Amino acid sequence: MTTSEESYYYPNRMGRIFLIAMNDIIGVHGVNATLNLAGVPDLVNNYPPNNLKLGFKFEHLAAIQETMDDVFGSRGGRVLALRTGRETFKYALKDFMPVLGIADLSFRPLHLGIKLKIGLGVFAETFNKFTDQIVRLDEEESRHLWIIERCPVCWQRETTDPCCHLAVGLLKESLNWVSNGREFRVEEIECIATGNSACVIAIYKQPIF
């Protein structure tokens, strides 16, 4: 990883949720080993406090993801990051939904396409409002594009393949929630770590099931 003078942040609460979710997936020893290897030993048994202060650095999140790929291999790291992303959303739902005003979205009698649109809009707004991550949405006939212009997951990384699996997992689970249990095909088609100008995640409008 290269160094930069600038630092960008997630709120402490998001860092905390992410580490708790990671704990659920790889266990406390796995998390501690990863944090040590990632060069953030200060976080071992010392997760960020549960507040919205911008205190969880993008470079730390990226270093943790990179370490997961190093330790488990790119395939294993990908699977674990996807699962961690999904688990992270479950906690985020409890902590952030009350603030967002869409807690009942999945129960509203709306067309699935409209729910997706509302959900994605609110999720993007949440990142833009509470974090230094920058997200915008675009739409094609068959898919939505979730375009991350400043991405914490691959921050300052260089990879041969798109590597923001955590973001993909988070989106998959959020869409599952919005749609009351449907699964969508979600894939990262461009990634800053591979040299693109943004991380672009394609969300296919037609659910898989």
**Which residues form the interface with Zn ion (CB under 5 A)?**
151, 153-154, 164, 199
Smallest separation (angstroms) from Zn ion to the CB of 193 = 6
The helix/strand/coil state of 155 is coil
Nearest to 144 by CA among 178, 168, 120: 120
Smallest separation (angstroms) from Zn ion to the CB of 83 = 18
Smallest separation (angstroms) from Zn ion to the CB of 55 = 21
Smallest separation (angstroms) from Zn ion to the CB of 176 = 21
Smallest separation (angstroms) from Zn ion to the CB of 163 = 7
Q: Which is nearer to Zn ion, 58 or 89 (CB)?
A: 58
Smallest separation (angstroms) from Zn ion to the CB of 148 = 6
Residues 106 and 178 sit within 8 Å (Cβ to Cβ): yes
Q: How many CB atoms lie within 10 A of CB 28?
A: 12
Q: How far apart are CA 63 and CA 2, in angstroms?
A: 11
Take residue 206 and report the two structure tokens written for it: 């037609």
Q: Which is nearer to Zn ion, 64 or 199 (CB)?
A: 199
Q: Which is nearer to Zn ion, 50 or 196 (CB)?
A: 196
Q: How far apart are CA 90 and CA 17, in angstroms?
A: 9
Residues 134 and 152 sit within 8 Å (Cβ to Cβ): no
Q: Which is nearer to Zn ion, 64 or 151 (CB)?
A: 151
Q: Which is nearer to Zn ion, 105 or 168 (CB)?
A: 168
- Provide φ and ψ at 183, rounded to 5°: -110, 140
Q: How far is residue 18 from each of residues 53, 60, 114, 139, 202, measured CA to CA in Å?
A: 15, 12, 28, 28, 23
Residues 2 and 156 sit within 8 Å (Cβ to Cβ): yes
Q: Which is nearer to Zn ion, 24 or 149 (CB)?
A: 149
Q: What residues have CB less than 8 Å from 73, skipping those under 6 apart?
A: none
